[in-house]
Each structure stands twice: as structure tokens, then as C-alpha cells.
């Protein structure tokens, strides 16, 4: 993928997949191929929370429109969940910025059917009426478990290893500086099981929603990073025909 694809108008693209399938890696590759932004609800929330350090167009707009209140800001600062309605308003404000005109990748939204229904309605009434297309990365659950629980990183050089799939020469230390490798606190089987349960309950119905609408494709996430990227690009181009 590269410059030859830059003339294509991808419109709104939703990447779906269970924890650990590689959505973040693929989003970056798609952004580069099509020259479109990634719209992340996590990034929007961080931008609003940090508005005292750096101006936030989205926060100013929502405050002026009476859609964001001091108690909402307090909840965000405390790391608490905000309402679907407020998340929808945040996304709407971000989608109205000029860099989204050709398309964008949705990251972390919609997470629920309620959010998906709102998004469909919002896009149907927007400037171009371009509906979202959804692409799901499919990876065997056992493979996902190995990817996540086997993940280790070097605290010095930041290299990433996997004790099951891409192990260091010695079990516990970095090949390059012999520093003891670290495991993230949430890269455990128990946390993985909980994240998979939440995904099945909340996000899997979103997948079925777009499948039923005929705006859905599934690609093999077990292939090489480059092959997965190519499959996603081809799937979106096909769905937009």
C-alpha cells in the first residue's frame, strides 16, 4: 500500500477485533496508505482532560453548546465512565473537523449497539451520507492468549518479545542489553479472560449489526502485518464499490 491508493475515498472505516488482534498496528498502516486520521475516543477523552495544559477545540465547543459540564469533567478526571450521549457528542465534534472529509478510522467506537445505532443515524444525516464499513480481524483465541500472556518488554531499549512466539535467546533477559524483561500487569490469563468476556458481550453484537447490513468484511489476522494490511485495504475498496 502507498501513494497509488491516496486518491481512493475510504469514508468511515471501523476496525473490529478481540483484544490483541493488532488493531493499533493496522490502524497506523491504513492511515499511511490513505492519508486519513484515526479517531480514538481514548484520545478525545485525554484531550479534554488535559485542556488546562493544551487548548481543546472539542472541549470548548461542547462546553459552549452546553453538552459538557463540570461534573462530566470531574468524572473524566477520576477515570470514571461517561454516558453514551456524551461520548456520541464528543465523536460528532471530532468528525466535524476538516481532516475527516475523505474518511477516517474509528478506534474504540462504536463499542455498543446503542453507539452503533447513533453513528448510523449521524452519518445518514451528515454532509455526504457516507455509511461506515466494518472490517473485523479474526485471530484464533488460543493464539490471542499466547500473544498477550507471552508479551515481554525490555525496560531499557523497549524491544518487545514473546516467550511463546518470538522468545529471547535467554528466557528472562533482553538479547541486546541483558536487562531483565518485564511483563505488563494486565497481560495475564485472568485479565485476558475478562477482556474477552467484555468483548463478547458488548462489541461482538456491533460486528453482527454491520454484518446484517452488508457493510462488513472479515480478514485473517494471523497473516503477516503487511498481508493483513493489504487484506483490509482490499476489503474496504470492495465494500465501497
pLDDT by 10-residue block (mean), the chain, 241 residues: 67 92 91 94 90 92 94 88 91 94 92 93 87 95 93 95 94 95 93 91 92 96 94 96 89
- Annotated active-site residue 75? The verdict is no
Rounded to whole angstroms, the Cα distance separating 106 from 87 reads 13
Nearest to 9 by CA among 138, 103, 115: 103
What letters, b where the CB count within 10 A reaches 16 and e where it falls short, cover 151-184?
Answer: bbbbeeeeeebebeeeebeeeebbeeeeeebeee
- Annotated active-site residue 159? The verdict is no
pLDDT at 3: 43
Rounded to whole angstroms, the Cα distance separating 76 from 80 reads 6
pLDDT at 2: 43
Q: One of 61, 151, 152, 215 is an active-site residue; which one?
A: 151
pLDDT at 186: 87
Name the one residue in this structure whose C-alpha cell is 463540570. Answer: 70
Nearest to 166 by CA among 184, 154, 177: 154
Q: One of 28, 166, 184, 197 is an active-site residue; which one?
A: 184
Q: One of 111, 159, 211, 240 is an active-site residue; which one?
A: 111
pLDDT at 6: 67
Q: One of 51, 75, 195, 240 is an active-site residue; which one?
A: 195
pLDDT at 173: 97
Q: One of 23, 61, 147, 215 is an active-site residue; which one?
A: 23
- Annotated active-site residue 142? The verdict is no
- Annotated active-site residue 166? The verdict is no
- Annotated active-site residue 23? The verdict is yes
Amino acid at each position: 500500500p502507498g501513494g497509488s491508493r491516496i486518491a481512493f475515498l475510504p469514508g468511515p472505516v471501523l476496525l473490529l477485533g478481540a483484544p490483541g488482534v493488532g488493531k493499533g498496528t493496522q490502524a497506523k498502516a491504513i492511515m499511511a496508505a490513505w492519508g486519513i486520521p484515526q479517531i480514538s475516543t481514548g484520545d478525545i477523552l485525554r484531550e479534554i482532560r488535559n485542556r488546562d495544559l493544551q487548548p481543546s477545540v472539542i472541549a470548548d465547543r461542547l462546553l459552549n453548546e452546553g453538552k459538557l459540564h463540570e461534573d462530566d469533567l470531574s468524572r473524566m478526571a477520576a477515570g470514571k465512565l461517561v454516558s453514551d450521549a456524551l461520548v456520541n457528542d464528543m465523536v460528532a465534534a471530532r468528525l466535524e473537523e476538516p481532516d475527516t472529509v475523505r474518511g477516517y478510522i474509528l478506534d474504540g467506537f462504536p463499542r455498543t449497539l446503542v453507539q452503533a445505532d447513533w453513528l448510523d443515524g449521524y452519518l445518514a444525516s451528515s454532509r455526504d451520507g457516507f455509511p461506515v464499513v466494518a472490517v473485523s480481524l479474526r485471530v484464533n483465541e488460543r493464539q490471542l492468549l499466547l500473544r498477550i500472556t507471552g508479551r515481554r518488554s525490555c525496560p531499557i531499549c523497549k524491544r518487545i518479545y514473546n516467550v511463546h512466539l518470538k522468545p529471547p535467546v535467554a528466557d528472562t533477559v533482553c538479547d541486546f542489553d541483558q536487562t531483565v524483561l518485564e511483563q505488563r500487569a494486565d497481560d495475564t490469563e485472568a485479565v485476558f479472560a475478562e477482556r474477552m468476556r467484555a468483548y463478547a458481550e458488548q462489541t461482538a453484537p456491533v460486528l453482527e449489526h454491520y454484518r446484517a447490513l452488508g457493510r462488513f468484511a472479515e480478514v485473517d489476522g494471523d497473516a503477516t502485518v503487511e498481508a493483513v494490511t493489504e487484506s483490509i485495504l482490499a476489503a474496504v475498496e470492495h465494500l465501497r464499490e
